[in-house]
Structure 1
Amino acid sequence: MNIMIPTLMLTSLLCLMTATMKLTIKKTVSLNETKIWLMLAFLFSLAPLSLFINNEMETMLSSPPIINTTTMNINISFILDTYSILFVPIALYVTWAIVDFSTWYMYTDPYINKFIKYLLTFLTAMIIIITSNNIFQFFIGWEGVGIMSFLLIGWWYARADANTAALQAIIYNRIGDIGLIMTSAWLLTFTSMNMQELFTQQNTITLIPLLGLMTAAMGKSAQFGLHPWLPAAMEGPTPVSALLHSSTMVVAGVFLLIRMSPITQNNIISTICLLLGATTTLFAAAAATTQHDIKKIIALSTTSQLGLMMTMIGLNQPTLAFLHMATHSFFKALLFLCAGSFIHGLENEQDIRKMGALNKTMPLTSSIITIASLTLMGMPFLSGFYSKDTIIETITNSHTNTWALTMTMLATALSTIYSLRIILLAQTDYPRTKMNPHPEMETPMKPLLRLTLGSILTGTLLKLTPLQTTTTVTMPKTAKLGALIMTILGLILSLDMFLISTKQTQKSPSTMMTFFNQLAFFNTIHRALPMKTLKFSQNTSTELVDLFTLEYYGPKALQNTATNMINLTTQQKNLVKNYLTTFTMTILIALVTTI
């Protein structure tokens, strides 16, 4: 049994690597072949999952030492436990659907094979993160998802906004990377980079490496303060947004804290994570209600859900954070792909105010995005309900619940508002655009239906795993139904606001609306210091170097030196008459004296 799990998992990874290598080596590869390899990888990954559910046995797979240091030997080591065995099939399933959708969405792109290869490399880097058993290997995957996100966000490099967004993403992530590098250096010096050894020495870990881990997660998962890059990343193609926000990149930061949870159970770090997560959840949900770009609304929804996961880590509930991470992958990928279908049908129109009546022209996509939105809201018996409801119950029963509970409840109501806003503005009423939407095609519907199935059934299927074996707690009915009450309240408020907003005259935006629409002005704040530094450097190089150094020590200095030398070495005063008179008198005197 111990041999079968790693063998089957390695077979699954081998299928993924084969698909990537074929796209790398051959110039022309059938994308149908790539999809078949991904499907095989997913099917092979289900076998270890079924074996694990029945036995719950952790397995490790290690190579001989590759790098020998004074404190430890670094090797390639994979851990197959609850997190990795559960999440690898989810990541493969979601990527399979996204690649299938991409073959239709990016059909006219001349470099579509390269695009698919980048998506598969992105997934490979995330799987390295999920299965790593030491910080060195984890860091390779961490940097891998970072560079692949840079390449994919800036895929349409001819657009200035795409280049700016790609740079913004990589710079914000480098800020987080400083924390992980600092932690890695500390662990290499004082303890061990091997996670199993590290967890046994948890009492020796100080606050410095834990702050580094939290900074890394804050940058990668776009928590409040380092959040502006995530909405900006919507400049990339829609399949990139779907993969980036569902099962790769942004969940890597939260997963770092989930994986390192045995050493992060520190009161200070837990409190910071709790406050940071609760603030992010509410702020991102409020910001999403003020946006008009459909992709930015869904992107800020991701930030809000990541804040919810961070809140769970702050309450020392990493299992629940992982449960929400697993269910979130399906409905978030589904939301983005449906948004991509709308955008494609409306010839690249992303403003929801210019949509309308899409339930008539694109009925299947409209039905699917409605199911995905209901899952996000936490409607009972859809997958989001099983994780979101359990999270809110856990916060209700914790001793440090005042701030977190208030923020989470408000965010739950706001999540209903922005989800319903997409549904009502995009699908109902009358068309608010001059163009005729393209009719739906059969090709993109297959991956959408597969993800819909995952969004509906994942929560129920995860009941079979140890993730939802929580302690039974007696609580009042109002507390138990708290999440559902807030969802229904948000639903009623959203409908009311929609009816009012379509009847009233246009007003100038309020300060509060502008504050959330501009993401608390963090873009301006973060760019102020670099711009000041750039201008200071420019003034230094032009005014000091050009005007001072070159002026006084260059041409002027040479002129002043030459003038003084001329005055010292010649008696010429330009007195021509005097010179001629003196010359003539000298000749006459010479002639007279010689006679």
Structure 2
Amino acid sequence: MFLSSMSLFFLSISMLVMILNKCYIIEWDILMLNSASIVVTYIFDWMSLMFLSFVLFISAMVLYYSGDYMEGDYNINRFIWLVLAFVFSMMFLIISPNMISILLGWDGLGFISYILVIYYQNEKSANAGMMTILSNRVGDVAILLSIGLMFSLGGWNFIYYVFYLSDEISMMLKLLVVIAAMTKSAQIPFSAWLPMAMAAPTPVSALVHSSTLVTAGVYLMIRFSPSLENSGIQSFLLLISCLTMFMSGLGANFEYDLKKIIALSTLSQLGVMLSILALGFKELAFFHLLTHALFKALLFMCAGVIIHNMKEYQDIRSMGGLSKMLPLTSMCLNLSNLALCGIPFLAGFYSKDLILEVAFMSNINMMSFMLFILATGLTVCYTFRLVYYTLTGEFNLTVISSISDNSIIMINPMLGLSLGAILSGAFLSWIIFPETYMICLTLPMKLLVLIISGLGGLMGYFFNNLFLNYTLVSLRFYIIIIFMGSMWFIPYLSTLNMSHSSLKMGSGLFKLGDVGWLEKMGGQGLFMFIMKTSKQGQLIHYNKLKVFMKMFLISMLIILFFMI
């Protein structure tokens, strides 16, 4: 209740700040170091306050939902406190425009997400948690290196320097920030950890892997977006994000784990956000970030109800005909799926359709254009495939019959998010874009999105209905399907070879450097050398006859040696 009230309060304040066109910055000076002031800074503008409002609303719904989903769990109190700690870390990240203070939220998100992924104590969760934290550590190191590079600017409040950093200035700094955002938002080649993180409880997936942790990288890039203009990094980010949304959309069409399909869908939408951001439209990226958070959290919650009723089965081939036994959940699932596809007048339509039309109007190359079209078609394709396997046909798991929508505690937050999935698109478009966008496209280009969506939906339904269920046609193209369905072998490359060799190399460097030569020649070695020489000087200072005689004899022997 408290989080819901705070969400409404922050939403009201954000609209007030937007009307007044104000931005409030609070600075807390910690210490001064070589004319560079280390400060903790907080920014309160319409963007940070609105994002805070949405994060708190989804967190409130997820915690309410967890009351039934995690019922009977021995460590439920620990789970609730971890989720609250995660929410506070996200709040620190949202209101921090300073590279020092942003670490409070950035590292907190990575660490607490690792603890939540390994919440169920088994080997699969341990492996997924290790993959998650090692991938995110790459971004943490990039943030730390960017702090060092920003020392030359005289401060770490990047909100003041983003316009100065445009063009070709400080390319390394901008590249490090982009890499940090890519790791948090799971772009290629760091995509493997997001589907693996589905080992966490479903409420965690609904909060962490749909609206907070994975969007932290997008939010950081929105803040840094003015510095990317007129630089080669913008083209690099566009290519990576387009490839990510195509790869994840392709992989979702060959996946059978319910939660992993939704995770790959999240990955695809993160690619959409970063691609339009790379084209220079940060407000559009932020708009899609907010609408996507609502319907994707709803989609995860519906998946959680299905998995909970199916006694922890997640294979969609074991489902079917759920619309007869779970009518309310099926309604919410269809609503979130249609919003994801961009069906007119739902939340996803207002953001996604506008993003695609603006991208088609922009000066992009043919490869990016084709990837946008294919990713849009694949989104609708895997959505209708999911509906076909779960909601239609006959129930396949005949041993389970006690399936019903009888949990009011899980249904209520789903209805709240359903309202958001219907109304938030129109509501936010009126607030964020009070002036209309001028879209100038030919009729075929204008209808292209609807045509591609329709073709994708037909393919998703009929291809699975006609071929994959009754024939072994997929075995004829086994190698191609394995390649497309395994995210282009990124999980294998991330776990079997690269991580093992990099950890081995890191261990060798640690032994050779940190506890080897750097220990001898670095600070510790220098300390021992100074201690030894100071003791010698102290002995001489005591004016002892033995010392003087010893030094005199040594010096005489040296002189005689050289004379001979």
Report the TM range for the smaller structure's normalisation.
Answer: 0.7 to 0.9
- Structure 2 CA distance for aligned equivalents of residues 196 and 287 of structure 1: 37
Of 179, 194, 212 in structure 2, the residue corresponding to residue 230 of structure 1 is 194
CA contact (8 A) 1:217 1:256 kept: yes
Instruction: Find out whether 1:163 has 2:126 as its counterpart.
Output: yes
**Residues 82-128 of structure 1: per-residue CA shift (max 9 Å, x gap):** 32021111111111111111111001111112111111111111111
Shift, 1:53, TM fit: 3.9
Tell me the TM-score normalised to structure 2 length: 0.86
CA contact (8 A) 1:285 1:300 kept: yes
Instruction: Find out whether 1:455 has 2:455 as its counterpart.
Output: no
Instruction: Find out whether 1:108 has 2:72 as its counterpart.
Output: yes
Instruction: Find out whether 1:439 has 2:408 as its counterpart.
Output: no
SS in structure 2 opposite 1:261? helix
Shift, 1:533, TM fit: 7.0
Match of residue 470 from structure 2: 504
Match of residue 519 from structure 1: 487
- Structure 2 CA distance for aligned equivalents of residues 178 and 468 of structure 1: 40
- Structure 1 CA distance for aligned equivalents of residues 501 and 440 of structure 2: 57
**Residues 204-245 of structure 1: per-residue CA shift (max 9 Å, x gap):** 831100110111011110001110000000001001111112
SS in structure 2 opposite 1:399? coil
Shift, 1:535, TM fit: 8.4
Match of residue 303 from structure 2: 339
Match of residue 483 from structure 1: 449
Match of residue 128 from structure 1: 92
Match of residue 275 from structure 2: 311
In the TM superposition, what are the counterparts of 1:181-196 in structure 2 within 5 Å? 181-196=144-159
Shift, 1:498, TM fit: 2.5
- Distance verdict in 2 for CA 1:401–1:67, change over 3 Å: same
Match of residue 528 from structure 1: 497
Shift, 1:458, TM fit: 0.6
Amino acid aligned to 1:510:
Y
SS in structure 2 opposite 1:291? coil
Amino acid aligned to 2:461:
L
Match of residue 30 from structure 2: 66
SS in structure 2 opposite 1:473? coil
Match of residue 538 from structure 2: none
Match of residue 50 from structure 1: 15
Instruction: Find out whether 1:39 has 2:4 as its counterpart.
Output: yes
Match of residue 211 from structure 2: 247
Amino acid aligned to 1:120:
L
Amino acid aligned to 2:488:
A
- Structure 2 CA distance for aligned equivalents of residues 258 and 470 of structure 1: 21
SS in structure 2 opposite 1:199? coil
- Structure 2 CA distance for aligned equivalents of residues 503 and 139 of structure 1: 49
222-231 vs 263-272, which moves further: 263-272
Match of residue 87 from structure 1: 51
**Residues 42-71 of structure 1: per-residue CA shift (max 9 Å, x gap):** 2322320231243232222223x1122213
Amino acid aligned to 1:350:
Q
SS in structure 1 opposite 2:225? coil
- Distance verdict in 2 for CA 1:251–1:503, change over 3 Å: closer
CA contact (8 A) 1:327 1:459 kept: yes
Shift, 1:185, TM fit: 0.9
Shift, 1:288, TM fit: 0.6
Amino acid aligned to 1:518:
S
- Structure 1 CA distance for aligned equivalents of residues 354 and 434 of structure 2: 8
SS in structure 2 opposite 1:202? coil
Amino acid aligned to 1:144:
G
- Structure 2 CA distance for aligned equivalents of residues 421 and 200 of structure 1: 45
- Distance verdict in 2 for CA 1:179–1:360, change over 3 Å: same
Shift, 1:537, TM fit: 11
- Distance verdict in 2 for CA 1:470–1:226, change over 3 Å: farther
CA contact (8 A) 2:159 2:223 kept: no
SS in structure 2 opposite 1:332? helix
Amino acid aligned to 1:528:
N
CA contact (8 A) 1:245 1:332 kept: no
Tell me the TM-score normalised to structure 1 length: 0.81
Shift, 1:470, TM fit: 5.6
- Structure 1 CA distance for aligned equivalents of residues 415 and 197 of structure 2: 26
Shift, 1:489, TM fit: 1.1
Amino acid aligned to 2:423:
L
Give aligned pairs, total. Answer: 502
Give the alignment's Cα RMSD to 1 decimal: 2.0
Match of residue 199 from structure 1: 162
- Distance verdict in 2 for CA 1:416–1:192, change over 3 Å: same
Percent of pairs with identical residues:
33
Instruction: Find out whether 1:148 has 2:115 as its counterpart.
Output: no
**Residues 186-211 of structure 1: per-residue CA shift (max 9 Å, x gap):** 00234421134323532583110011
- Distance verdict in 2 for CA 1:264–1:506, change over 3 Å: same
Shift, 1:474, TM fit: 2.1
- Structure 1 CA distance for aligned equivalents of residues 383 and 134 of structure 2: 30
Match of residue 430 from structure 2: 464
- Structure 2 CA distance for aligned equivalents of residues 468 and 518 of structure 1: 43
- Distance verdict in 2 for CA 1:470–1:409, change over 3 Å: farther
Match of residue 9 from structure 1: none
Of 251, 266, 269 in structure 1, the residue corresponding to residue 233 of structure 2 is 269
- Report which of the two structures shows the higher radius of gyration computed on alpha carbons: 1
- Structure 2 CA distance for aligned equivalents of residues 74 and 533 of structure 1: 33
Shift, 1:529, TM fit: 3.7
Instruction: Find out whether 1:137 has 2:101 as its counterpart.
Output: yes
Of 289, 300, 307 in structure 1, the residue corresponding to residue 253 of structure 2 is 289
CA contact (8 A) 2:348 2:425 kept: yes
Amino acid aligned to 1:193:
W
Of 311, 318, 335 in structure 2, the residue corresponding to residue 354 of structure 1 is 318
- Structure 2 CA distance for aligned equivalents of residues 197 and 522 of structure 1: 37
- Distance verdict in 2 for CA 1:467–1:69, change over 3 Å: farther
CA contact (8 A) 2:276 2:282 kept: yes
Structure 2 gap ranges (5+): 509-564
Shift, 1:519, TM fit: 1.7
CA contact (8 A) 2:162 2:225 kept: no
526-535 vs 299-308, which moves further: 526-535
SS in structure 1 opposite 2:409? coil
Higher relative CO (CA 8 A, sep ≥ 6), structure 1 or 2? 2
Instruction: Find out whether 1:374 has 2:338 as its counterpart.
Output: yes
